[in-house]
Chain A
Amino acid sequence: MREAIVIEELCKYYNGFLALDNLSLKIAEDDDVGLLGPNGAGKTTTIKILCGLISPSSGRAYIYGADVVEEREKALSHVGAIIETPEFYPYLTPEEVLSYLGRLRGMSGRTLEDAITEALERVKLRGWAKVKIGKFSRGMKQRLAIAQALLHNPPILILDEPALGLDPRGMVEVREMLKEVRERRTVFYASHILSEITQVCDKVAIINRGRLLAYDSIDNLRKKFESKLKIEVEMIRPPSARQLRQIGRLDDVARVERVGNKVLIEFEGDREASAKLMEEIRRMGHQLVSFRTVGITLEDVYLKLVEETI
């Protein structure tokens, strides 16, 4: 498959501070990749280099083969981007802003008019098309940011924390919109919010201190880091400390922890052993509400990797 984004040994220094440390990444066409990392990991720096907002200290980045520094305009013609929390000119209306940006992307006439209507409808701002942006809320501006990113129907979407600063409802709305538009597009989505990444992306690149720690599909990463099965047991009454120790002594139980009414068990046995474990817990007199295995989450992988680099 063709590579949409290629990042080769990118380094970026800010006044001597190393923000990106030999970062390399290849993103195939139609892949939806999340760039995950704590604050200050280098996510925004990577995105800004790809969008031609800053230059790398060394290394190269390409979008569909075009160098983002040497062939900036060609590279950006394939991209729709949302970077941080963008602002718009308060004196213009959404229609005017989209018309302005559309023309900068080589659109005109009926094609541009139709694209503006479609983009505004998609982000539910059609009714606000002729209202000055100065009157808009943060959420409305973020929706407009999505509209401008999609306006020219770009094959690549580069998004940096697109739900930043939004209320929970706004976050859900943005996520739903992005889930809708990711079809037939390459999405490169930087965030430190794991739930956003897991809902929009199939693959994840985890970075910290400017270095790539892992890059794989979310499923593969889980498998790689999954050594013990986790079982979550919900009981009518929470177990006492003594009862918890008893559970801990059962066969194949590696670790046990109480979280409210629930008990989290790290278990080394197979499916049959897990069925036996459930019986043993019942036999100890506990009334079970639920008994379910929970796989390792992306959060577990993320925390493990990030902790290792601290």
Chain B
Amino acid sequence: MTDERDKLRAVAKYEFMKHLRRKRFYVVLALAIAVEMIVLIALPLLGAGYPSNVMTMAALLSMGATFPTMGAVFFAGDAIAGEFEGKTGYVLFPNPVRRSTIVLGKYLACFSAIALVVLALYGVVGASLLWIYRRVPVEVAGSMALCLLASGAVVAVTFFFSSISRGAMGATVTTLIFIFVVLSVVESVLLMAGQPRWFLLSYASDVVVTIYNGYGAFAGVREGMPSGAMRSPDVGTSVAVMVAYLVVFLALSAAITRRREMT
């Protein structure tokens, strides 16, 4: 077991190194910071000024911090599929290491890379709030933790699609469609039908923003919305849902990769 733990550490270390050397890491980081800058610069520039309520501003900035969740898809899309598509698996897989260890190590590396982006962004959020309001609400830390969990769940879902896809591009596009189109459409349908949507990852991950003050942080969004639209996700339930997505999809990915043949 110790031996397998050492191997897990090795996979995580070198896969993490790979992420840090890829351009996409810096592109995602730069885009994420740019999103925060837009919020910080556009509000005073358009004459709106910063909101008087620190929680509203924190929620606005934290919306930008959900950007890494999308970045997670780009980081993880090729994690498994790339080994088969790019033939690097011919070097990696014929080693005395369990494939589940490889999957878990790659997951940890990918999550660590995305966590760096999340931490950097919340650094921007915290510094901005401190600069504008002279205080940082404790909810920012909660939002960051939830953002990390949401990213972890998205990485797990991406790993699942990566383990069943022939190519990295296919895995990335399929995951993006699943999370940002399919789940959103299902969520809208359930909302219109007045049905519960707590079990959807897209809804559960809204908790990253709603933790501050529910959807009420954003004045004006109520008009024209169906009843129930303003019902913000419960933190406890959302955490459970995100953990469930993370565990189930990661386990599925490991099981599929273990059986997948390198033909």
Contacts and interface: CB of A to CB of B under 8 A. Distances in A.
Interface string A92-109: 100011011101111010
B21 to A, nearest CB: 4
B263 interface: yes
B98 interface: yes
Most buried by A among B3, B10, B92, B98: B10
B1 interface: no
B17 to A, nearest CB: 7
Interface residues of A, number: 36
A77 to B, nearest CB: 4
A273 interface: no
Contacts of A79: 94
B94 A83 contact: yes
A86 B97 contact: no
A103 B6 contact: yes
Contacts of B263: 14, 48, 54
Interface in B99-148: none
Interface residues of B, number: 28
Contacts, number: 86
A88 B89 CA distance: 9
A76 B18 contact: no
Interface in A39-77: 48, 51-55, 72-74, 76-77
B52 interface: no
A148 B90 CA distance: 12
A91 B94 contact: no
Contact of A81 (B9, B88, B94): B94
Contacts of B10: 100, 103-104
B7 to A, nearest CB: 5
Contact of B90 (A72, A73, A86, A97): A86
Interface in B205-263: 261-263
B45 interface: no
B261 A53 contact: yes
Contacts of A99: 14
B136 to A, nearest CB: 36
A77 B98 CA distance: 12
A77 B97 CA distance: 9
Given A87-B88, A106-B3, A76 B96 contact: yes
B27 to A, nearest CB: 15
Contacts of B91: 86-88, 97, 101, 145, 148
B87 A87 contact: yes
A101 B93 CA distance: 10
A53 B93 contact: yes
Contact of B22 (A14, A52, A86, A91): A91
B96 A104 contact: yes
A84 interface: yes
A87 B86 contact: yes
A89 B91 CA distance: 10
B95 interface: yes
Contact of A103 (B7, B89, B90): B7
Most buried by A among B9, B89, B261: B261
A14 B93 CA distance: 20
Interface in A209-242: none
B11 interface: yes
A260 B57 CA distance: 89
A76 B98 CA distance: 11
A104 B7 contact: yes
A67 to B, nearest CB: 14
A198 interface: no
Contacts of B18: 89, 91-92
17 contacts: A51-B93, A53-B90, A53-B262, A73-B98, A76-B96, A81-B94, A87-B86, A87-B91, A91-B22, A92-B17, A97-B91, A100-B10, A101-B92, A101-B95, A103-B9, A104-B7, A106-B96
List the 8 closest A-B pairs by CB distance, nearest first: A103-B10, A91-B21, A51-B94, A86-B90, A53-B262, A100-B14, A77-B96, A73-B96
